[in-house]
Amino acid sequence: MEEFSAEESIQGIEAGLFARIVHGVMGIMNAIGTAWVGVITVLISCDIIGRVAFNSPIIGVPEIVKVSIVAIAWMQMAHTLKIGAHLRSEIILDRLPSRAKAFVNLLSYSMGAFIFAMVVFSGWPNLIESWRVGEFEGELPVRVPTYPVRTILILGAALTSIQFLLFLGQTIRFLVNPVARGKK
């Protein structure tokens, strides 16, 4: 009997147009998040050099970094799930037969989809309000807009929920299709 793995789940999902579009958006967000890490690294380094060498820090770096960390995490959340790079303990899971593993994944993916959908559902009113009022973090002279970060958070949570649903669909197909389980 073949083992059911996240890698097989990912490969099975790749074929659909909807999944390709969603994964394309995830890839773009991941790339932007990665570039953003580089920009923040340069900004922090310049701030440190300015503090140490010239006794003149760059104004607003703490506020920019504070909102950037949240944005970067959510820009990369769904893609990290897609490639199977989230931390996951498989001590017990590895000892289970393939079908039992699939049932555990079924529960896990269902819970993940629900939890991230609830993040979207509960955060949506705050997102709309933050755009309406032009929400900012910090005080003058530097005020960093937070409404784009709220948008990234909601988009990242929605994509993560969708990815869980794609994994869930693949797991269901594995459970109901004997050929997918390696049975003849």
pTM of the model: 0.85
User: Phi, psi (5° rounding) for residue 58?
Assistant: -80, 125
Peptide bond into 145 cis (omega under 30): no
Per domain, the residue ranges of the chain are: 6-176
CB 60 within 8 A of CB 144: yes
pLDDT in tens, 122-154: 999 999 999 999 999 877 888 889 999 999 999
pLDDT tens track for 75-107: 999 999 999 988 888 888 889 998 999 999 999
pLDDT of residue 90: 83
SS3 144: strand
